[in-house]
Amino acid sequence: MQNALAVSLIIAVLCPCIGVFLVLRRYAMIGDTLSHASLAGIAISLSVGGTPLVGAFLFTAACGALIEYLRAHIKNADLVLSVVLALCVGAAVTIMSTGRLGVSVEGFMFGSILTVTRGDTLLALGLCVASVVTLIALYDRLLFIAYDEEAAQIAGVRVRLFNYVFSILTAAAVSVAIRIVGVLVLSSMIALPVAAALQLGRGFKATLAFSVIFSVIDIMAGLFLSYYLNVAPGGFTALVSVAVLFIVIIGKNIVKAVKRGKQ
């Protein structure tokens, strides 16, 4: 449980930090595609006797780079994600169907606290620290690429290079998160805390901070409640995230109504 808690906190910080840029670039569904890439990476890694998290990170990073490469040739972003999703699902299903994995991948599909080891925790911590340091170093450039890619390019930002770097960061977040929340609901962890924070109508830094706060609430509540209810943590965390989003929306409307009443 200690390892699960530590990895959950890491995810709670990392996912919205990446998610805020993805959501604002209207690219939130990349999380869904990359979570399937992560599953394919785990399947490849297990089939050759490797560490699942390392396999997940390497294959997901490769798929992130492939998405960037295809974006230069296929203008429709949804189509790019569909192509890479087909590759990932195809690879994962093919490898799993060989029956050579030796372990069940169900834990990765739905998220499982019990599969988290101390080694996974340390690896996740390393990826998280590296990602957060990179995000801080590239903050202004990534912000401007998300806000106005053309202006960033004119200011001398090497947009394509930073897009590749960002896809590696996304891969890191996805590979770390898949252990707790699972493949099927991972994209919700990237998008929902950000969606709740956006309701508050603040600036970028405040939105980022609130995204992390909501993410911590979602994941911690999801983890503890799923443990006591004996249900999959990933699915329950997604339900908590949706509930928090609705609470924020309703709260915002109540505050608005009260303000209008006072005027």
Q: Does residue number 248 form part of the binding site for other proteins (CB under 8 A)? A: no
For other proteins, which stretch binds (CB under 8 A), given 111-119, 164-172, 200-208, 240-248?
A: 200-208
Q: Does residue number 106 form part of the binding site for other proteins (CB under 8 A)? A: no
User: Closest approach of Cβ 197 to other proteins, in Å?
Assistant: 8
User: Closest approach of Cβ 140 to other proteins, in Å?
Assistant: 4
Q: Does residue number 102 form part of the binding site for other proteins (CB under 8 A)? A: no
Among 147, 246, 253, 254, binds other proteins (CB under 8 A): 147
For other proteins, which stretch binds (CB under 8 A), given 1-9, 11-19, 105-113, 143-151?
A: 143-151
Tell me how many residues contact other proteins (CB under 8 A).
26
Amino acid at 15: C
Q: Does residue number 255 form part of the binding site for other proteins (CB under 8 A)? A: no
Among 48, 114, 136, 154, binds other proteins (CB under 8 A): 154
Q: Does residue number 141 form part of the binding site for other proteins (CB under 8 A)? A: yes
| Residues in touch with other proteins (CB under 8 A) | 24, 139-141, 143-144, 146-148, 150-157, 197-198, 201-207
